[in-house]
Homo-oligomer: A and B are copies of this chain.
Amino acid sequence: MLTTERHQLILALLKEQGTIKLQDLVEQLQASESTIRRDLVQLEEMKALKRVHGGAALLKQKGIEPSLNEKRYANHLEKQQIGRLAASYIDNDDCVYLDAGTTVFEMIPFIKEKNVTVLTNGLMHIPLLMEADIKTFLVGGKLKVATNAIVGSQAVQFLSDYRFDKCFLGMNGIHPDYGLTTPDPDEALLKMRAIQLSNKSYVLADSSKLYETTFAKVAAIEEATIITDVNDEEAVLSLQKHSNVKVVTP
């Protein structure tokens, strides 16, 4: 195996798992311990990873990919289906805003229309957007480490210079009375502004978020189309009295 290939594999495995043992690398790459040690030394020099006793770990990259716990989350399939349906609402030549949600992340590989322009505040989306050859703009502002998202007043102001055909937002609470809510006030401001600037707004949320409420109000429930999965038919029917709800099924 070429050295370059080994390095790429090492980083791919590391991205999956967050940390990895040297012995695991020896087995999976079918190379000697000495070779893997040299590889890790070189990758550390290039600041692509950091060495720990017995192996290697990713640099602190919270949220670069959906958190490892969340990636293993039972709702992953549902999120993919929500993502697929969401992407189907995008047309050729659309300008869309994608916020930093994990379900929004799932929709990116399904975006197949031509000449789509994306503005996003989610750094975790960048590799997929590049992979999909989608023309991408990034919101400017403060980096929020916990979610690898761009937030803050500068971000809101940056956003205000644009308009979108559609926006796609993650949300943590969707309630007929309390509206659309999210835990973080900074992100709530951005989501609110994105809705104001878009012709159509979509909220992507799995059913666990329905009839939940979190800290910061984003908008009234009527202001966005909810894309969710089936959980409780009655609950969805009840929600539909207040909002346009699109449901995916497994």
Residues of chain A at the chain B interface (Cβ within 8 Å) = 2-5, 7-8, 11, 18-19, 21, 42, 45-48, 50, 52-55, 57, 59-65, 67-68, 73, 76, 105, 109, 123, 126-131, 135-143, 145, 148, 150, 152, 154-155, 158, 161
Residues of B within 8 Å of A135, CB to CB, are 142
Number of copies: 2
Whether A59 and B128, one on each chain, are in contact in the complex, defined by CB atoms closer than 8 angstroms, is: yes
Whether B130 and A59, one on each chain, are in contact in the complex, defined by CB atoms closer than 8 angstroms, is: yes
List 6 A-B pairs, minimum CB-CB distance, nearest first. Answer: A140-B140, A136-B143, A59-B127, A140-B158, A60-B131, A4-B52
Nearest B residue (CB) for A118: B143
Residues of B within 8 Å of A11, CB to CB, are 65, 68
Considering the chains assembled together, what is the distance between the CA atoms of A96 and B130 in angstroms? 28
Q: Main SS of chain A's interface residues?
A: mixed
From the candidates B60, B68, B109, B130, name the one contacting A127 in the complex (CB within 8 A): B60
From the candidates B7, B60, B137, B152, name the one contacting A143 in the complex (CB within 8 A): B137
Whether B137 and A142, one on each chain, are in contact in the complex, defined by CB atoms closer than 8 angstroms, is: yes
Nearest B residue (CB) for A47: B128
User: Nearest Cβ in chain B — how far from A132, in angstroms?
Assistant: 9
Interface centre among A63, A123, A152, A155 (most CB of B within 10 A): A63
Residues of B within 8 Å of A46, CB to CB, are 65, 67-68, 73
Nearest B residue (CB) for A124: B47
